[in-house]
Each structure stands twice: as structure tokens, then as C-alpha cells.
Amino acid sequence: MNANTPLTGLLPTHAAGVSHAHESAVAQVAGAVHYIDDLPEVRGTLHAAPILSNVAHGKLLGVDSSAALAMPGVVSVVLSADIPGDPMLAAFAGDEPVFAMDTVQFVGQVVGVVVAQTAMQARHAARKVKLSIEALPAVLTVQQALDAKSFVLPPVTVKRGDAAAALAESKHTLYGTLEVGGQEHFYLEGQIAYAMPLEQNQWWIYSSTQHPGEVQHWVSHALGIDNHAVKVECRRMGGGFGGKETQAGHLAVWAAVAAVKTKRAVKLRMDRDDDFMVTGKRHPFAYEYRAGFDDSGRLTALQLQMAANCGFSADLSGPVADRAIFHSDNAYYLQDVDITSYRCKTNMQSHTAFRGFGGPQGVILIETIMGDIARHLGLDPLDVRLRNLYSDELVSPSTSSGRTESSAVRAEPVEAPRRDTTHYQMKVEDNILQPLLSKLELSAQYRRRVEAISAWNASSPVLKRGIAITPVKFGISFTATLFNQAGALVHVYTDGSVQVNHGGTEMGQGLHTKVAQIVADELGIPFARVLCTASDTSKVPNASATAASAGTDLNGRAAQFAARHVRDNLAAFVCGLDGCGAGAIKFKGGEVFSPVATRSFDEVVKLAYANRIQLWSDGFYRTPKIHYDKTTLTGRPFYYFAYGAACTEVVIDTLTGESRVLKVDILHDVGRSINPAIDVGQIEGGFVQGMGWLTTEQLVWNDKGYLSTHAPSTYKIPTAGDVPEHFKVDLWPEPNREDNVFGSKAVGEPPFMLAISVYEALRDAVAQARGDGTAVRLTAPATAENVLCALQSKA
């Protein structure tokens, strides 16, 4: 099958809404695509490898590189003193050095790089560099950081109503704690950069990055030159998942600084072990909460402390922890709530963006509370979840939040508050939670299966099953409003073929494919006629990261607008030829229709060129409606919400703690799908990655701050064998209610949180095995060891 052929085998009249194969799929399967390490190297290219700290915290007294310099092929050792510009990275907090200077702050911090003729020579030599370090006390846990008040950023508190008073009045209360581990990105293509010096102190940087614009800024800052002298290019990444949003910039800076010193092109590709040791992970979180609720299971009060393990520098920890606050409601109305978020500084890798960006760490806590409430009251957890959903129901006037309102003394009438506004004051206007959950409950036969599982468990002394349905409500937009903008270029060539360049990056998620589909429809031409080219800072400047699930929303709309400008130029030209209004001109199926004549698109393009009509244009898009006060964490940070739900059935072995996912049924909201096959693939992949986070992917640091699980031998991501045989995905049949490109919704991150149904099903299995009705304390990931602990412990 040609990569441009729809998976249905039919030739559609429209490009969007069809399951076209990924634009690189055939070439990728054939091994014919180029990642950065596949590119031809310019003559004289050198290779760099990092010199890593072996101490978690200490004074760096000296670096002895004599043994390394004596090794075959070694050209140079590059340290902080060799940086021509600012020795601090251009990160927003300004708290992270390019290379460690006076102190080291985690095991794996890069002190410098060795440059050699080959990658293996550089790696071997880097291990011969001797570091003189005077050890200092290290902070290695969240609790140690809280005790020492060690923070990368100040704590943040968000409140609504009076949680303390509401707790005091609540019919029932629960206290609980939870620990959720981090997660290694484990992209198939590791971190890599290739820095090539050009004439007149200009630079060409190949970077496997989700944010070429930031790499450009970081490199120019470190080299002490203007942004315009640095071109950053990325055709594709072999996976990113957030791990290449900021931290790809480190390698680009290290390679560029080495290239300045050696005056030759330098490539830096870390091996997998070094990648593990150097780069940040998903933030581990620790929680403490008190929840109040009534006899029906409705939440009446919540006090929540969230502590994020940020590592040694801020990186993106601020917005990650903010989004965890935003998503601590998930699908549920929080009436009287008090949330405090601590951003803890520890002597570990600087943790960073990861698919969901704090959302999963917020969602899992509230889902845990819903499960705890259900077990405390002896109710079905789904009924408790349904009872707490956002809705247009009036807020009960008997709550403390009702008493704290000042409406009683106002002269003008005030509309009574409803259960449709988040704790950060955004109204949930596109709520489909109730019908979506009800539909999945029926299609997955949840009630029947609950009864069947209970009967099965009664006759099975060792193996116990559990089941859970959990929803997701995920806000789409960058919470930092300024990043919600995008640009694109559309070029129509004289043969009628079209080239698109936009500010987004392709990491396997199908962004270029979707953008090409959108542009093809805007011009009324076949999908095969559109080509998306490499992300390039010299074409679209100041582009935002491809993150926050907004890649298609932003770049697809910008590309659509650029194509529309060209189409309007062509329509105006044709209406001049045929003496009709421009609105009468139609573009469809590779042809251009007017009331007078039908011409091929290619013919119209040739005629337009001969008449000096502009055949290229730019497009720009900024997300509407959003606003956000970062000091109070209130406003409308999201353009819309994406929704979904999953029903998962699991089985555990009560003797070993081993578990297996048996069945998964998903109903997910992607709006009007631009490419159903790609969207379903994202849902499946996101779910399995989330399942890994919550079951097998355990990061272990020893008491010296050394990451013990730094290779596939000790860090276990899900395999094909972990995917259940019954894995059913359905799409919710409704377009986005907001004016988004094609009526679609973002699909990259929201499905990740559907895997929280696995965690809740495991807790259900543990509860059924214990049979005592008490709360289940299950540390995530739910490894066999942690499941055994949950089976044996009493809350």
C-alpha cells in the first residue's frame, strides 16, 4: 500500500476524516527514513560523550582529564570554562548550569564532555576523567525536602469555600496518603544533537527536539550570539513523550560548545544508560488528603497536599505542578476545597514534561478518593463517581461554600451557583461525562461483569479479579497563554504540488499527516499532493513546543489559514477569468469549479503563475477565549476539555502479587476525527504507556542518590504480551463544540489517564481479596511487591 492511500482502500472525496496511513509509515517500515544519527556526517565530524558526576551533592574541587586526553582518538575535553556565552542555561528559572561548575547536584549531572574521533572513543575516555568532589548532605526524598523546606519554586495554594469548616460538618471523613512514582520516557531514539558550524559564526543544529525554537534560544545564549545566527532543524523524532521538550536543549548546547572549542562539527548521542542517568523523568508525587462526604458518596470537602519531586532544578516543574492542581478534580465538582502544592528540590535528575504534564498526578489522587469513599460506604465505585460528576445541578445551599458567598447582602439578584465550575473558576461548558459514562457502562456490560467477578472470586481462593470504570476530563491548551500560537507556510508549486512547513514537530504521533490532510481539503486536492517538510526555525520562527496535546489544534489551524490565503488568491483569479463572484468558485477533488468552466487545480495554478498571482502564503493562529491569572491560578486556561472513560478488568495472584490486565473497553472523545486510525493508535498507545506507569515501570534510587534502574534489564516498560486480548476502542460520535480545526479534539495526552482504571481495578481486586471493607493503600506503580503489601496491610 502506498503511504498516501487511505487504509480503507477507497479513494475519498475529502482528505480529512479518513484513515490515511502515516506519511512516513512505509518508509519507516522499510528502514528508509532518516533520524539524526542516520544523516550523512560532514567531513571532520567529531563525537562527544558526557562526563558524569558520581556524587549526589558535593563541592566540585577539580577535574583531572589527563588520562582521557591520552587515550586514542581523543581531541579535547570541554568544561564550563570553555563556554563562550552564559554558563547558565537559558531556562526560565535560570537555575541550571550548562556544565556543573562549583557544585554537583545529582548523580549523573554533566560536568563536561569528551570529544573524540568516534563515539566509542569519546565514551571510553569520558569514564577516565577523574572528578574531585567533596560530598555534601543530599536531599533524596520528598519528605526530606518538605522537612528542610527545600523547594525549586514557592508553594502554591488554591482554595474555594471553607474546606476546614465543611470537613467539620461532613457526615463522613477519610484521611489518606498516597505515593505515585515517576516514569522514564524510554523514547526509542535516544537524545541526540549534531552541531555544524557555518560561515560567519552561524550554526546549523540538528536536534531531536519537541521545541526547535527553544533549542535555538538556548544555543545562541550559550554561544553569546543572536538567535538569527542559529538554525535548528528536526525532521522527526523517534519518540518524545515530553522528554525532548526542554531537555533536548542540553545536548544541543553541549555539542555546540564543543564545536566552538574544536572548530569542527560535533555530534552527541548518549547511550541508553547515560540517557537514563542524565535526563529527568515524570515527577513522582506524594499526597496527603482529608475528604468529607455524605451518605450517598457525594464529596462535600477536600483538603489536599500535593508534593512534587522536582529534582535539582525547576525545569518545567512549575507548570507541571500547576496542571496537577487543575486536574485534581478530574471529572468531579469540588465544593469546598483547599489544595496546597509543594515543588520539592531534591538531589536527583531535574524532572520534566511527560505525557499528561501533571494531569495524571492530579487525576489519580481524586480517583483514589472516589474508590476509598465507595469502599467506606459499601457502594459501587461507579455510582460514587456518577454522583460526583460535573453537572448543571444547583450547589447545595447548606454547604459552607454557600454560606461564604456574599450574595445575601447584594442588592442585585445573583444566579445560584451550579456544579459546573472548576475550583479554578472555569465553567465546564462542553460536558459529556454523564452520557459518555452511561454508554460505556452499557457497552462494556459493567453491572453484569461486577456480579460475575464477585461470583468468580468466591470460588477462587488464590486468583482474584477486579474491575473499574474511570473517566477523564482533560483541559486542552498550554496553561501559559503566550504559547497558544502557531505559524505555518504553504507553498504551491507550478506543477500543482504543495509543500507545507509549520512550527510543530513530528515524533510519530501523526502531526504531519493530519496537517497535510487539512491543507489538502482546504485546497480541494488529493492528500498525496501535499508534503510536510522538516521543522525549521529559519522558516517558522518562535514556534511553541509540540506539547500540551495542542500540536494539531495550533499548527493545523495555522496551516489551514495559510492554504486558505492561497485558495482565495486562486479563487479571485478564476472569478476574474470567468466573470463571477469569488464565492462561486469551488475547489474539490483536484478540480476548480466556476459557473462557467471546470479546470484542473494544476491548470489553474499554471495560469495563475503566468499572471503573477501569489502562490504561497503564511498563516497564523492564536487560540481564542483563554485567559489565566498565574498568581491566583484562576481563569479559563483551557479552550476546551477532551473526555473519555475506560472499563478495565484485572486479575491478581494473592500469593505472589503478580497481576494481569484481562479486558479493556474504551470510549473516548476526539471530536470529529481528522484521522481515525491515527487517533485510535494514540488512544491505544497512551493507555498502554499509562498502564506501564501504574504497574511495571518502577524507578529506584539507592541511598546514595544513584538510579539503580537505568537500563531495560531493570526498568520494565510494557510489551506486546502485556496488552490484553480484549482491547476495544470506540470513538464518541460528536464534533468539538468549540470552533476547532475540522471539529476535532486533541488526542495525545488524554488517553494516558484512562489507564488509571487499571490501578483502580487492581485496588478493587485487592479489596475483594481482603474482604474487610477497609481502604486499600496501594503504592504506584502496582508492582508485585506493592500489590502484596496492599494485600497484607491494614489502612
Q: From CA 343, how far away is CA 311, in angstroms rounded?
A: 9
Q: Whose grid coordinates read 518545567?
A: 316
Instruction: Please state, in angstroms and as integers, the Cα–Cα distance from residue 310 to each residue in 321, 521, 696, following that order.
Output: 9, 44, 22
- CA 214, distance to chain mean position in Å, is 17
The answer to whether residue 749 is catalytic is yes
Placement of cell 571532520 in the chain:
44
CA dist 376 and 366 (Å) reads: 15
Residue 577 CB neighbour total at 10 angstroms: 16
Cell of 156: 502554591
What Å distances lie between residue 6 and 108, 529, 744, CA to CA? 46, 14, 19
Task: From 446, 335, 337, select the one nearest 391 (Cα to Cα).
Answer: 335
Peptide bond connecting 781 to the previous residue in cis, omega within 30 degrees of 0:
yes
- Half-sphere exposure for 574 (CA within 13 Å, toward CB): 28
Helical H segments across 341-493, by residue range: 359-377, 381-388, 400-403, 433-443, 446-458
Query: What DSSP state is assigned to residue 556?
Result: I
What's the longest Cα–Cα distance across the chain? 85
Q: Where are the beta strands (DSSP E) in 123-255?
A: 130-135, 151-160, 172-180, 192-197, 203-207, 230-234
How many other CB atoms are found less than 10 A from the CB of residue 681? 18
The pairing of strands 110-116 and 46-52 is antiparallel
Strand partners, 160: 337
Half-sphere exposure at residue 94, Cβ-oriented, CA atoms within 13 angstroms: 2
From CA 767, how far away is CA 769, in angstroms rounded? 5
3-state secondary structure of 62: strand
Classify residue 159 by its DSSP letter.
E
Sign of the four-CA dihedral 612, 613, 619, 625: positive
Question: Which listed residue (96, 233, 367, 749) is catalytic?
Answer: 749
Count the helix, strand and coil residues of the chain and give each as a percent rounded to the nearest 5: 35, 25, 40
What single-letter DSSP state applies at residue 6? B
DSSP 553: I
Q: Count CB-CB contacts under 10 A for residue 227.
A: 16
Record the cell numbers describing residue 483, joined without a space.
504559547
Pure H helices in 240-309 = 248-262, 272-278
Element (H, E) at 285: strand 285-293
* Residue whose C-alpha is closest to residue 652's, from 764, 795, 727: 764
Q: Is the CB of residue 242 less than 8 Å from the CB of residue 182?
A: no
Residue 445's closest CA among 382, 507, 496?
382
How far the first Cα of the chain sits from its last, in Å, is 57
Element (H, E) at 561: helix 557-578
Q: Cell numbers of 464, please?
A: 482474584
Q: Give the sign of the dihedral formed by CA 312, CA 327, CA 441, CA 727.
A: negative
Cα dist from 473 to 362, 491, 795, whole Å: 11, 38, 29
Angstrom distances, CA of residue 105 to CA of 55, 128, 135, 144, 343: 8, 21, 10, 15, 17
- Catalytic positions, please? 749
